[in-house]
Structure 1
Amino acid sequence: MFQLSKEESEAIRNYLLLPYLKRVLELDTKWIQHSKMKLPRPYLELIRYAFSLASSDLKHAKSILHDRGIRVSVEDTKEDIVICKVYCRGYNQTYRYTSVQIRNQVERRITAYFLADSRFKKRNTPSV
């Protein structure tokens, strides 16, 4: 049995979750573009900002996995379960994620990306 470092585990998690997150953001962008919103531009800019953060995080995760010789593959998607195999240092390990787990983690990550910009964090002084 092998033990992954915290950085490696996070890279694997990002490698698995960020494509889902990017897909959700793309669908939301299409939905907003075709909606009858009066001011869609601020929402689209927020989504584009989150998409760029997700893309850079995914690129970083891929580079970590490549540098350490770790391979990750999605083996099977049975109904509500995604099965992933991780090959590292001559060992392999299987991870199972339910669709609910993936949805919750993607939702938390999108919220974190939306709040990553300091302009959206809670202000100490009230607005005018």
Structure 2
Amino acid sequence: MTRIPTGDRDIIEQAIYLPMLLTVLNRDLIVVNTSSFKLKKPYLELIEETMKAIQKDLAEVKRYLHKNNIKVERLKSDDAFTMYMFVYKGYEEEHNYFNPRLRNRTEELLRYYLFERYKNTHLEKKA
């Protein structure tokens, strides 16, 4: 059983997923740059602005982890699972994450950062 409260666990998981998102987007930048798109600039701007938003959120996560003396470390990975160690208030916990779940959650977050985060600001402007 984990000693980590749900709120802190969510932040710890952001420390796992947000760097994955940045890796995916960095690869996408390379693909767009080397592609034969006629108009690359809008795609590049979308990816770059998305990366800035993720980097901003990741900085907040890192500040929170540092302030609360929480550490996250990737230990090992195989075809099915990736193991992380969380150090929380002096206690070490190892957690296995199913790789397809990591991929699916990363995809969900990518969808959020690319599209859904704009829905709320679009609705606020109409009101």
TM-score, scaled to structure 2: 0.85
* Residue 51 of structure 1, CA deviation: 0.5
Residues 33-72 of structure 1 deviation map (CA, whole Å, 9 limit, x = unaligned): 1000111111111111110111111111111111111111
Moved more, 70-79 or 17-26: 70-79
Partner of 1:117 in structure 2?
A: 118
Q: What amino acid sits opposite 1:117 in the alignment?
A: Y
Gaps of 5+ in 2: none
The alignment status of 1:57 with 2:57, answered yes or no, reads yes
Distance (Å, rounded) in 2 between the aligned partners of 1:46 and 1:4: 36
Task: Specify which structure has the higher proportion of helix.
Answer: 2
| Contact preservation (8 Å) 1:71, 1:86 | yes
Unaligned runs of 5+ in 1: 123-128
Structure 1 residues 119 and 34: alpha-carbon distance in aligned structure 2, compared to 1, 3 A threshold:
farther
Map of 1:66 onto structure 2: 66
Q: Relative to structure 1, is the Cα distance of residues 120 and 30 closer, same or farther in structure 2, using a 3 angstrom cutoff?
A: farther
- Over the matched positions of the two proteins, sequence identity in percent amounts to 25
The one of the two structures with greater contact order (alpha-carbon pairs below 8 A, sep at least 6) is 1
- The count of residues paired between Structure 1 and Structure 2 equals 123
Give the deviation of 1:120 after TM superposition. Answer: 9.0
Q: Contact 1:74–1:85 (CA<8 Å) still a contact in 2?
A: yes
Name 2:77's counterpart in structure 1: 77
Counterpart contact for 1:80–1:99, Cα < 8 Å: yes
Greater Cα offset, 13-22 or 89-98 = 89-98
Q: 1:60 to 1:119 in 2, by over 3 A?
A: closer
> 4+ residue runs of structure 1 moved beyond 6 angstroms?
none
